[in-house]
Structure formats: C-alpha cells, structure tokens
Amino acid sequence: MAIKSLLPIAFMALVNYIPTTLAQASACAPGGNFDLSKWELQLPTGSDGSPDSVSASKLQGCDGYQSEYFFASSDDSSLVMKVPGDSSTSGCVTTPNSKHCRTELREEDPSTWSPSDPTNRLFGDVIVKQIENDRVVVGQIHIDGSISTKPVCELYYSTTGKLTMGVNRCRTCGQNTFNIGQIPVGQRFTYEIRYESDVLSVSINGQDFQKLDTFDLNSPASYFKAGNYNQGNGPTEVHFFNITVSH
C-alpha cells in the first residue's frame, strides 16, 4: 500500500489548537513544507469558465508557487487555501460545471482509481478558519471527467460547525445528504474518507466509520480532492496541517 502524504515539517499534534488571527504568509511556499508532487492546484483566478491551475512540478520546493489564495502560514506552517467569495461578490472564476469558486488540490498521481480496489483513503487535518455564510467543502471524491461531471461525495462544513456528506444518487443525479458530526466553529478536526472494496465511508476525529449508501453510482473511476471549495458568497479560509492519500 503506497501512501502519499502532505505533512508539514513542523507538524502540530495538538488537535484542538485554535488560532486567533487570520494567517500571514511565510517566506517559504507551501511546497517547502508539504509534498505536493502528486497534486494539481485549482484556483479561483483566471478567465471566465477557465480557472487557473498549477501543475505539481511548479508547486514543489520553498520557491514553488504561492499566492494570496495559496500559501504557508508563518505562524504554524499550515497549508492555507483562501477563496474571496463567489463570482458575483468577488469576481472569482469558476469551472464550466460549477457556480462556486475554489482553491483546491486535485489528485493527479494516480489521476483516477477504482472504488473496487482494497485501499482508497483521504485523510485531512483541518481548521475552517473563516466562513461567513453557507458551507465549504473540505474534502471530496470526484468521478473521472470521461464518465461524468459530478462528484461521488462532498464533505461540507457549515457556519454552525455542522458536518454533512452529500452523496450523489447516480452519475448524473443530485445528492442525498447525511449528517456526519458537529465540530465547534474554529476548532481543528480530522476526517478520513474511504471508497474501497465498493464501500463508501467516513470518520471524524478517529471515531467509528459511518458507511454511506452509494445508491446507483456503481463504483465509477474516481479521484480525491481536498481544499477550500466555497459554497457561499463570502470569503473562506481553510488551513490544512496534514493531507494523506493512500492507495
């Protein structure tokens, strides 16, 4: 089982750490603290319907890509991903199949995998630092683009700290939503999403895994995404202390 980990050099083990101010960028880019060699970055900038993306080769190293929306915190070396709002309030750019803006990592190696495989896992250690309205997606599984434009599932964090998982009913359908847990606003938490041996499940803070119905999805080729996929019209800021993908 191969493990791909985005783990800062100065990883903080205190799970309930709560920062009190918004992050300032360090001199070193995120690639100096995290292994970004397996990911592509998707951004809220670019031209209408064609947001900017940054390849893995340009993300790596202390002199790798960074911007006002993607940087390492000078306080704790966490990976900070920011979104300014939505296209109507901030002028940010969306993908052709979404009305929401994002700063999000997309798994590129492997670019897709089978949910029938024995191991497909995404682990995140995260704080939603700023959220003004609605929800933000901090982790998801997406169906391969040659099959569908829909996700398999999306893990939402709301302004009230409520965690829900939206699972698509089929490859072209909308979502059913499952209650996953409650995390106080501003509190650091972990999640793990698994879609392996044709079973979709999720765990919060190391608790028992909740198995989720995948309806008529029928285990499509998929890939992981992690970051800040803003569902509202106000700014959002998400900090990751660890992202680990296992296959």
In order of their start, the domains of the chain are: 71-91+110-246 (2.60.120.200)
Asked whether the CA dihedral 173, 156, 59, 11 is positive or negative, the reply is negative
Query: Is the pTM value of this prediction over 0.95?
Result: no
Which pLDDT belongs to residue 113? Answer: 98
Which residues of the chain have a pLDDT value below 70? 1-21
At a CB cut-off of 8 Å and minimum separation 6, what does 218 contact? 171
Which pLDDT belongs to residue 100? Answer: 97
At a CB cut-off of 8 Å and minimum separation 6, what does 40 contact? 53, 54, 55, 56, 105, 106, 108
Which pLDDT belongs to residue 13? Answer: 36
Which pLDDT belongs to residue 9? Answer: 40
| Structure-block tokens of residue 131 | 């959220």
Run of H or E including 89: helix 87-90
Contact, 85 vs 233, CB < 8 A?
A: yes
Which pLDDT belongs to residue 22? Answer: 77
Contact, 110 vs 3, CB < 8 A?
A: no
